[in-house]
Chains A and B, each alone.
Chain A
Amino acid sequence: SAVISQKPSRDICQRGTSLTIQCQVDSQVTMMFWYRQQPGQSLTLIATANQGSEATYESGFVIDKFPISRPNLTFSTLTVSNMSPEDSSIYLCSVEGQGRAGELFFGEGSRLTVL
Chain B
Amino acid sequence: AQSVAQPEDQVNVAEGNPLTVKCTYSVSGNPYLFWYVQYPNRGLQFLLKYITGDNLVKGSYGFEAEFNKSQTSFHLKKPSALVSDSALYFCAVRDYLSGTYKYIFGTGTRLKVLA
Contact = CB atoms under 8 A, between A and B. Distances in A.
A50 B99 CA distance: 12
Interface in A22-54: 31, 33, 35, 40-43, 45, 48, 50
B14 interface: no
B43 interface: yes
B100 A48 contact: yes
A56 interface: yes
B100 A43 contact: no
A68 B43 CA distance: 22
B110 to A, nearest CB: 8
B107 to A, nearest CB: 5
Interface in A60-89: none
B49 A102 contact: yes
- A interface: dominant SS: strand
A31 B49 CA distance: 19
Interface string B27-69: 0000010101000001111100101000000000000000000
B74 interface: no
B88 A45 contact: no
A45 B108 contact: no
Interface string A74-108: 00000000000000000010100000011111111
Size bracket, chain A contacts: 20 to 34
B43 A42 contact: no
Contacts of B103: 33, 45, 94, 104
B94 interface: yes
B90 interface: yes
A50 B102 contact: no
A86 B90 CA distance: 24
A45 B32 contact: no
Contacts of B101: 31
A101 B46 CA distance: 12
A103 B46 contact: yes
Contacts of A102: 32, 34, 49, 51, 94
Interface of B: 32, 34, 36, 42-46, 49, 51, 88, 90, 92, 94, 100-108, 110
